[in-house]
Amino acid sequence: VKSLIIVKIIQMFVINVAHFLYRAEDPAALGVARFFYGLIMLIDIFEERGLHLLEQRYGDPDLCIFPLFNDMPVFPLEYLYAMYLVMILCSIGIMLGFMFKLSCFGFTVIYWYFFFLNKTTWNNHSYLYGLLSILWLFSNANFYWSVDSLIWPSIYNKQVPRLNYFIIKFQLFILYFYAGIKKLDADWTSGYSMAGLGKSWVFDPFHFFFSDETVDYLFVHIGGLVFDLSVGFLFLYDKTRPLGYFLAYFFHGMNAIIFNIGMFSYMCMAMIPIFSAPNWPKKIIGKTPWFIRLLLPTCSSAQENVECTNTKTTHHTETLKNITSFKNEKDCDWSFTMNKAFKCIFFTFYVAIQLFLPFSHSITKGYNSWTDGLYGYSWDMMVHSWNTQHVVVKVIDDVTGEKQYLRPGAFTSSKSRIFSHPDMIKQYATCLSKRLTEVPDLNITSPKIYFDVWTSLNKRYQQRRLDPRVDLVKAPWSPTKDTPWLMPLLVELSPWRARLEELKKVSSEKNYSDVVFVADFPGLSLENFIAEDIEANITVLSGLVVIEANGKNVTLAANETLSLPENDTHIVYTISKTPSCYMYISHNKTWVNMTDDDFINSDEELKKSKLAKEEWKSKTIFEKLLWFLNKKYRLYKQDVYQIYFAMKMIIDMGTTVDDKVLKNDEL
């Protein structure tokens, strides 16, 4: 009896949830959101999706790539261009609501293929675009303002289940709220994550009352934290929604100006009106003059959808009686069919995954570095600021013992981020080992590869990320286990950051041009070269070090300083039982008596840069707009030509894409 009661309670819960999710809603807001998603993704394909970088990334088969799965196939370049063409057509199809389901399916499959193919481009907003493509695939967003609704009148302006709105609202709520939870990190609340943004001109109105540092802390860090934690809740209620919209558009507008984050800000601004009443577009259209209304979608009431529940047609008691039978919808006004059950189960699973994945670092341990969580999946936007000062790639032939040094990022299209995550580091070392054995001139048969990467996280000391003594070709790595050759973040030195800022300020007042703070582990050493005309010294802040320079060894303890020889290499050994901390202070002797103008005129590149900035400032807004449009026209034109020649090659099976590459100056 108890079992039957439990089963009945579960049944009642499921049917009530389904009844809520299938409540009839107007399709207008969904159709408008779909249109702008397709439009923004169409632009994004030419921008951040990297159509113009396709040949650079995948045109050379000898380059190392970084897919999620090592065995992922990489198609020939001409077919990759063809896939981008399909993605362009599908984004247009989504925008216009033409062959909507097919367009969503084609776009989603190709988008996620390229997303998984290149981990170096992963970020939270690219992940969001992919998630939205999946949600559109299972939606009824073509019931309004679509070509499909003109072809098939049965779906024209037809009611849609509330589930369509609920799942997109949920995803946007998670975007903001989880971003706020991640900002509860001590580095963010202390103001170290995005230091320096307060100097931006967008905060000029606040500069009359606050210093740059205060603006940085109060408005960027604390304001960003409060915004992310609260704005999702403001969206949910009619009385607070206008305030939420004002804050959100103000926030994303500033982000679009300050950061180079592609179409993300515009995507958010296009999606958040979905929190309004579903018929909000019709209310606006209904107030326009009749001659304008002829060019806009209908503002009439939505036609009834028998798959939805509403007070006029649903007999809830009858539905409850038929819950276990899954009757055909013709048998009653509304029934819980297998199709509805599948959608409810799918979206329940989707919600559970989205709630769990940003905190899955206890399972995906191999992807953790100094920060926990899958990069690009965790909604930890702007929380971590990285500064990589020094990267050394050392190769030793295990047979001959010969040592060589490679340029960091060799055999890659870009070294961006590959030294930041253990999974990509392992992939790079494995690929590099294979490529080196394939170059006859190097005469390397069994390479051992070592990386020495120095990075600062959120204004801490520069410190090693990896153990430089580990051969990364043979080093173990597992997605579910901690990476043993990853050096720990020296969090015990975090309180030093305030003093480091003071020391840097004092050094700048003394006309020093550069200050670098370094922390190293016991038993390890740093080899560094001081260039000619550079006057440098090293000061130990804590710990004990031995400095080998000019054929001599000098021991330095805390607060002791040593001048370093120029045009020479020195080695700093950490001999204390605790990590050593020291700072380099240096300046170029030839710059000391130079004015700013003298310094700029001494360097042709700086001189050109200064002239270019002055020329840009002298342009009118209209001239700047024309320059921007011309730049985009040339870029898009080049992309279209590349696609054209790729398709021509596929059809003709003649020349290669590489033979037809057009440079900007040829267009």
Candidates 175, 101, 66, 162; CA nearest to 131 is 175
Report long-range pairs for 474-478 (Cβ below 8 Å, ≥24 apart): 474/448, 475/426, 475/429, 477/366, 477/422, 477/423, 477/426, 478/365, 478/366
- 77-96 and 100-117 helices, crossing angle to 10°: 140
Neighbours of 316 (CB within 10 A): 14
Neighbours of 72 (CB within 10 A): 12
Catalytic pick from 119, 182, 183, 343?
183
Neighbours of 471 (CB within 10 A): 15
Report long-range pairs for 2-11 (Cβ below 8 Å, ≥24 apart): 11/323, 11/324
Candidates 528, 544, 527, 539; CA nearest to 580 is 544
Contacts of 402 (CB under 8 A, 6+ apart): 396, 444
Quick one: DSSP state of residue 527?
Answer: E
Tell me how far CA of residue 371 lies from CA of 49, 121, 225, 581, in angstroms: 26, 18, 18, 22
Neighbours of 128 (CB within 10 A): 20
123 in Cβ contact with 376 (< 8 Å): yes
CA 652-109-363 angle, to 5 degrees, is: 135
Specify the 3-state DSSP secondary structure of 661. Answer: coil
User: H-type helices in 53-99, by residue range?
Assistant: 54-58, 77-96
Joined tokens for residue 204: 């000029």
136 in Cβ contact with 37 (< 8 Å): yes
Joined tokens for residue 564: 């370093």
- 124-137 and 100-117 helices, crossing angle to 10°: 150
Task: Report the Cα 581 to chain-centroid distance in Å.
Answer: 33
Tell me how far CA of residue 149 lies from CA of 97, 142, 420, in angstroms: 8, 7, 48
Joined tokens for residue 81: 């261009």
Quote the CA–CA distance of 667 and 660 in Å, as a whole number.
13
Quote the CA–CA distance of 380 and 382 in Å, as a whole number.
6
Quote the CA–CA distance of 517 and 461 in Å, as a whole number.
5
Contacts of 622 (CB under 8 A, 6+ apart): none
Quick one: DSSP state of residue 303?
Answer: B
Quick one: DSSP state of residue 300?
Answer: S
Candidates 303, 340, 346; CA nearest to 323 is 340
User: H-type helices in 99-156, by residue range?
Assistant: 100-117, 124-137, 147-151
Identify whether 183 is a catalytic site residue. yes
Candidates 114, 108, 126; CA nearest to 54 is 114
Neighbours of 333 (CB within 10 A): 15
Q: Which residues are catalytic?
A: 183
